[in-house]
Structure 1
Amino acid sequence: MSHLMVENLSKSFGDHLVLDRLSLSVKEGEFVSILGPSGSGKSTIFHLIGGLEIPDSGTFYLNNEKINNKRGMISYMPQSPSLFPWRNILDNVVLGAEIKEKPDYKKAKEMLMRAGLKGYENAYPHELSGGMRQRVAFVRSLLSPQSFICLDEPFSSLDEFTRLDMQKWLLSIWEQERQSVLFVTHNIEEAIFLSDRILVLSTNPATVQSEFKIHFERPRAESLLLTPEFLSLKKEIYLALRGELM
């Protein structure tokens, strides 16, 4: 497992300051969500951690090693599944491992079975539904050699019920693997249901303006979403976000 530290991160695009001395951490085996409105710099944080962009200032540490401007240090799942259409499902999920080392096809098949995709190993992405393609992308993230996973609004394009099914499935898999996860979303319910902690970003520019620890026991069931405790926390987080948007 891995732990991440981000210290005093700042990033501008031209004259527009997007991130201002932002600091955060993710402990080993922890599921942390970044919650904020569109345009608040959530995805930019991932691009910087992954070495796709260069920060103006600030430092990243993964397992106490400085990783500024280094690529290939994290496993990254973007909003779209980004599967290669000419590779079958099995070959898509081993892609990350293939780049670094010899793929473990036996483990890949086991993970696809746990994802409800047994029998689809030789299918191609266009033959799968949107939810199934998202499961393939997540399995690929789990099979990548990097032990730290960044998930960038992976369920944003799905309808409400498919999205909830995917959240429950993600938790069922994650609770067995317990890899460290940094998850970006703008959906409050999703953040509460999945997370150990939620970091709420301010806007213009973004920094961490609130932190919420989620104390609901795991494993979590769908019934949690309608409990008074869940709804009260949702309101509290909503007000924190609204305070920055007004």
Structure 2
Amino acid sequence: MNKLSVKKITKSFEENKVLEELSFHVNEGEFVSILGPSGSGKSTLFHLIGGLYTPDSGDIWMDGERINGQRGSISYTPQSSSLLPWRTVLSNILLGGEIVGQKNEPEALRMIEKAGLKGYEHSYPYELSGGMKQRVAFIRSLLSPQSLICLDEPFSALDEFTRLEMQNWLLSIWEEYKRSILLVTHNIEEALYLSDRIIVLSGKPAKVKKEFIVPFPRPRQESIVLSEEFLQWKKKIYNEL
């Protein structure tokens, strides 16, 4: 079953057409990445799915329900962790459930421990490193009631080693919970390593240029990024971009 269906979405801002008849889907429990050149409308797409913008034409469906312009349908992790500085790690994580009256503190504490953050439950964001903040932000998304998580380049601000550590951590958590994830990234390696499918967008106005089914088995092994097959896939996707 499709978790998310985006059907022939077009969006312009005055004379600037950003998306044109863009269509794709995300299946239940699937990890899908969107790659595209800078300015191709990837962030606009997330704003449309999240209900902050309404498409000029086309429809967005979630679990069989049309959600054009409807907020609260997705859980969202932005490029910066966007933690509330006056709330502790635990209270930031509980925020999504708190809004809808579904606080689950025991599960939040379990996830904090699984994320290697035990002992930081009552710390504030300024006391955390960049990687720790992103773990908190992702746990918050995971424990929010929405069934689709949208990740907007969540690791772009991290150094290469922290990024790889975070990717491995994200995969381990996703393998356990199998939530549907839609990731926007500029990083081809990241998309290949994490995803089931990769959707490549054209330049503006963005359309789906190509779709790739990632062939690597799960659970993913870190060693695949050094393999010849991985490099060939990276070249293939690079040429499309």
Amino acid at match of 2:128: L
Contact residue 11 and residue 56 of structure 1 kept, 8 A: yes
User: Which residue is equivalent to 2:200?
Assistant: 200
Task: With the length of structure 1 as denominator, give the TM-score of the two structures.
Answer: 0.96
Alignment of 1:19-168 (within 5 A): 19-168=19-168
CA deviation vs aligned residue, 1:85-125 (integer Å, no higher than 9, x gap): 00000000010000012311000000111111111000000
TM-superposed deviation, 1:37: 1.5
Query: Within 2, Cα distance between the matches of 1:16 and 1:119?
Result: 49
Quote the sequence identity (%).
Answer: 63
- 1:74–1:150 Cα contact (<8 Å) kept: yes
Structure 1 residues 115-159: Cα deviation after superposition (integer angstroms, max 9, x where no partner): 111110000000000000000000000000011111000001111
Q: Name the counterpart of 1:181.
A: 181
Give the paired residue count.
241
Asked if the contact 1:9/1:55 (under 8 Å) is kept, the reply is: yes
Cα distance in 2, alignment partners of residues 134 and 209 from structure 1: 31
Q: Rate the CA distance shift 1:2–1:132 in 2: closer, same or farther, 3 A.
A: farther
Distance 2:118 2:80 in 1: 22
Distance, in Å, in 2 between the alignment partners of 1:161 and 1:191 is: 16
Q: Find the residue that maps to 1:134 and give its secondary structure.
A: helix
Name the counterpart of 2:14: 14
Asked if structure 2 preserves the Cα contact closer than 8 Å seen for 1:2 and 1:147, the reply is no
Name the counterpart of 2:169. Answer: 169
What is the rounded CA distance, in whole Å, between the counterparts of 2:104 and 2:163 in structure 1?
A: 29
Deviation at 1:2, TM superposition (A): 6.9
C-alpha deviations, 1:186-245, integer Å up to 9, x for none?
10000000000000000121010000000101111211101011000000000000xxxx
Aligned residue in 1 for 2:233: 233
Aligned amino acid, residue 124 of structure 1? Y
Aligned with 2:40: secondary structure? coil
The residue identity in structure 2 corresponding to 1:80 is: S
1:46 and 1:85 map into 2 onto residues whose CA distance is 24
Q: Counterpart in 2 of 1:190? A: 190
Question: How far 1:178 sits from its partner (Å)?
Answer: 0.2
> Please, what TM-score do these two structures have when normalized by structure 2?
0.98
For residue 85 of structure 1, what is the amino acid of its counterpart? P
What is the distance in 1 between the residues matched to 2:228 and 2:15? 44
Per the TM alignment, residue 55 of structure 1 is displaced from its structure 2 partner at its CA by 1.0
SS for the counterpart of 2:167 is: helix
Which letter does structure 1 place at the counterpart of 2:163? R
Letter in 1 for 2:158: L
Regions of 4+ moved over 3 Å: none
**Contact between 1:40 and 1:203, CA under 8 Å: does it hold in 2?**
yes
C-alpha displacement of 1:73: 0.7
Does the 8 A contact of 1:2 with 1:29 survive in 2?
Answer: no
Contact 1:149 1:181 in 2 (8 A): yes
Which residue matches 1:244?
Answer: none
Secondary structure of the structure 2 residue equivalent to 1:80: coil
Q: CA RMSD in A?
A: 1.0
Check the 8 A contact 2:6/2:25 in 1, yes or no. yes
SS of corresponding position for 2:211: strand
Q: Give structure 1 stretches of 5+ with no counterpart.
A: 242-246
What is the identity, as a one-letter code, of the residue corresponding to 1:14? E
